[in-house]
Structure 1
Amino acid sequence: MAEKKKSFEENMADLEQIVTDLEKGNVPLEQAMEKFKSGVALSKSLEKTLSEAESTVTKVMAKDGSESTINDENDKDEN
């Protein structure tokens, strides 16, 4: 059976645990390197998720059905 995809919050908790473990400094070098690699991968995944969420949230549907970003709307208001 396929492994269930973890939620953003679960991945964030995993990353926080990795950071805590590495900050303590009592992890063997080989294990620390693996944790670091996992942390970098998690960080990139979380950043991508946040970027996609930000893009979705900033889109506004115009009356005619076209999409524009909030920044586009602000630019129109200034002109």
Structure 2
Amino acid sequence: MAETPVSKMSFEQAMAELETVLGQLERGDVALDESITLYERGAALKKRCEEKLKEAEEKVAAITLDPDGKPSGTTPVEGL
């Protein structure tokens, strides 16, 4: 089974795989070459999680509230 490209993963998929990668690295029961590959994959997964979190934060920040504190709509976030 081919690995899913990190750029196509949802936050949840990337986080789940990152946890798996970290577990394998922490156990230390993989060969050095595989450890390096896992580390590289983990770094890419971490970056993807950070990107998805930033996107979510920007969307939340774009929600405007009316005087009663209720969402009244959204304002476009530059670049989205």
TM more than 0.5: yes
Q: Which residue is equivalent to 1:60?
A: 63
Q: Which residue is equivalent to 2:69?
A: none
Is the 2:18–2:42 contact (alpha carbons within 8 Å) kept by the matching residues of 1? Answer: yes
More helix by share: 1
What code does the residue aligned with 1:13 have?
A: A
Deviations 1:14-60 (A, max 9, x none): 00000000000111000000000000001001101001100101113
Larger radius of gyration: 1
Q: Once superposed, which parts of structure 1, at least 4 consecutive aligned residues long, lie more than 4 Å away?
A: none
TM norm structure 1: 0.69
Determine helix, strand or coil for the equivalent of 1:53.
helix
Counterpart Cα distance in 1 of 2:74 and 2:60: 15
Q: Which residue is equivalent to 1:73?
A: none
Is the 2:25–2:35 contact (alpha carbons within 8 Å) kept by the matching residues of 1? Answer: yes
What is the CA RMSD across the aligned residues, in angstroms?
2.8
What code does the residue aligned with 1:51 have?
A: K
Counterpart Cα distance in 1 of 2:24 and 2:74: 48
Gaps of 5+ in 1: 69-79
- Residue identity (%): 37
